[in-house]
Structure 1
Amino acid sequence: MVAMALIACALILRSPASIRTSAFIGTLFGCFSVGIHFGWPPALTTALVCVLPLGCLLIVGRRSSLGPAAPWLRRGSITPEIFWLGLVTVVLGGVALVVWALIARPVPAEYFGGLQRLPLWLAILGTVAFALVNPIWEELLFRGVLLTELALVWGTRAAVALQAVLFGVAHSAGFPSGIAGMIMAMCWGFVLGVIRVRSGGILMTYVVHVTANAVIGTLAVLILI
């Protein structure tokens, strides 16, 4: 209902940036809400979340009055600077997660708890599948839609900081969790925002995010037993 209210406000204001953003976010959270309400399998809900908001984004971008959605979907370039920044981010993020997991000893999410009971090759396959799919909508939302549209209103620096804060809040119940987890996720989101700006696209942020999720999945399956 909040998403619907935001869409209504965007239409009343007639702001192209607001309409583009609210259309994407409204569709995204609508998919989540429908999947949860009807008890759909997580895989189906995730597939809808990765496909329908993107389709809505492309449809909205066809309206000349709203402007193209292409800036959200640019691949960008992978320069030596971006490559090493991404590599250092993954390594330091992995180390931070290991230290946090060993200190906090959190209970793995139900999905990863189920993977622990499977043969090792199936657990690895499930981890890879999670690592590949989950970052699609997160990167489109935070480093794609939010960062791009916020930068048009408040500038690039403020946009990078704001999307990082929102990313951290969204992961308050994730892995890592709690206040420490939120702070770690905010730092992670900030670095991904910097990579997004310097590379000019979301390809490298997706690659870094996938690698990080693979580390998270491996921790949850192999360490937190």
Structure 2
Amino acid sequence: MKLYLLFLLMATTTVLSPGPGVVMTLSNALRFGLRGTLGGIVGIAAGAMLVAAISATSLGILLATSALAFTVLKLLGAAYLFYLAIRLWRAPSFSFTAQPTHDASLGRRFVEGLSLQLTNPKAIFFFLSVFPQFIDPAQPYPRQFATLVLTYSTLVVVIHCGYALFARRAKGWLQSERGGRLLGKLSAGSFAYFGASLATAQR
């Protein structure tokens, strides 16, 4: 495996960056408490594993062996991240109080988290474009793949639980207009940063 510490840093920053999954975790924490966020957090982690599994199929092999396919997906991913950054920068501040309240059941939250991650372009492009760069062809592929996937999924659980604890402690601030506006700007900046990083990434 190549540059595991760099992967750990990049994966941590990716999971930390505000996005749909983080917003869902914060919203659930504000509405249901820490216990009500667990189903969604586990769903997001499970979704990450499924997306990673897709990257191990023929599509992942194609990206690993074709410079053109890698470049096209890399540029598409960067363009989409820049689009998200612009949209978030211009959007109104995040509002957690305007969201409807649903049943805080573990199963319902799990399905929501799983569905969100499976349709999250940030996760899809991360696994398809970034993952192959940390695989050493000279070493057994399954062991490297499992290590990277489990690392990412564990980071999802740990970091999102941290976000949930933060949300409970900063409930008043997050529900204020100023807090929501700052979270939106941080989201935009994060997407712009990763769009630039993805655009300049090398095989």
Q: Does the pair score TM above 0.5?
A: no
Task: Identify the TM-score tier after normalising by the shorter chain.
Answer: 0.3 to 0.5
Superposition TM-score, scaled by structure 1 size: 0.35
After TM superposition, the score normalised by the length of structure 2 is 0.38
